[in-house]
């Protein structure tokens, strides 16, 4: 059984990992972190449960030693681990469209197929970045996003605005602080055996 975590943003946006993570993952034999770790202390805390494999996200400027992708083989399955962010020249215009649409435009709708094209030989592609849980098969491979441990909602957006971010972040946070539909913080579990792959999303 593999634990899957993404977008912890700790201590960037949250002070500490939720205790429920340690309860849910207590029996896993491996933990995958799909990026936006923010601090090495997060990986050290998770490593007290089980060995951790992690990749670098776009908020991991202090963790340059983490690779952008990892390839693992578990129970005969090829797993690709990646954060999922793209060039800022693509990400920032998409974020602007999300802001102008007041949150109705989905900037990452094409990401699963893009990752499938990028990793054509993978059995499982684990990614983060979107803060939205996702599990769907694309051309025979499982695309799995556990969602984010940190989630934007009116309370977290208001807290970040109090820290006086730059103008671009300030603009989209004005939308985030008025969102009525938000995702719950979540992590994932992957159960792999010779007979198949069973993914689960678990809310925190």
Tell me, rounded to whole angstroms, the distance of Cα 23 from its chain centroid.
19
d(CA 96, CA 105): 10
DSSP 64: T
Q: What's the rounded mean pLDDT across residues 126-155?
A: 95
Prior bond to 11 cis, omega within 30? yes
Supply the pLDDT for residue 169.
87
Q: Are 84 and 130 in contact (CB under 8 A)?
A: yes
pLDDT over 80 at 87, yes or no: no
Structure-block tokens of residue 132: 């939205």
Domains in the chain, start-ordered, CATH in brackets?
2-150+185-203 (3.60.21.10)
- Range with lowest mean pLDDT among 4-8, 56-60, 91-95, 172-176: 91-95
Task: Say which residue, 164 or 137, is predicted with more confidence.
Answer: 137
Handedness of CA 136, 20, 31, 182 (dihedral sign): positive
pLDDT over 90 at 57, yes or no: yes
- Range with lowest mean pLDDT among 68-72, 75-79, 90-94, 176-180: 90-94
pLDDT over 90 at 63, yes or no: yes
Q: What's the rounded mean pLDDT across residues 170-187?
A: 88
DSSP 149: S
Q: What's the rounded mean pLDDT across residues 182-190?
A: 95
Helix 167-176 and helix 88-100, axial crossing angle in degrees, nearest 10: 40
Q: Are 81 and 70 in contact (CB under 8 A)?
A: yes
pLDDT over 80 at 103, yes or no: no
Helix 154-161 and helix 167-176, axial crossing angle in degrees, nearest 10: 150
Supply the pLDDT for residue 82.
98
- Helices and strands (DSSP H and E) totals, the chain: 6, 10
């Amino acid at each position: 059984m593999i634990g899957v975590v993404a977008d912890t943003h700790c201590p960037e946006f949250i002070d500490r990992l939720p205790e429920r993570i340690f309860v849910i993952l207590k029996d896993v034999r491996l933990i995958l972190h799909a990026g936006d770790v923010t601090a090495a202390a997060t990986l050290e805390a998770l490593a007290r449960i089980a060995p951790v494999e992690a990749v670098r996200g776009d908020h991991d400027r202090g963790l340059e030693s983490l690779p952008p992708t990892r390839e693992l083989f578990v129970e005969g399955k090829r797993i690709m681990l990646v954060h999922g962010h793209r060039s800022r020249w693509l990400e920032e215009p998409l974020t602007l469209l999300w802001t102008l649409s007041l949150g109705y435009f989905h900037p990452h709708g094409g990401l699963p197929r893009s990752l499938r094209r990028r990793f054509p030989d993978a059995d499982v592609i684990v990614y983060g970045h979107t803060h939205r849980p996702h599990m769907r098969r694309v051309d025979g491979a499982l695309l799995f996003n556990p969602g984010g441990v940190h989630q934007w909602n009116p309370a977290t957006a208001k807290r970040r605005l109090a820290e006086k971010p730059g103008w671009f972040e300030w603009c989209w946070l004005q939308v985030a602080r008025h969102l009525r539909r938000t995702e719950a913080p979540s992590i994932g579990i992957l159960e792999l055996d010779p007979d198949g792959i069973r993914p689960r999303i678990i809310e925190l």
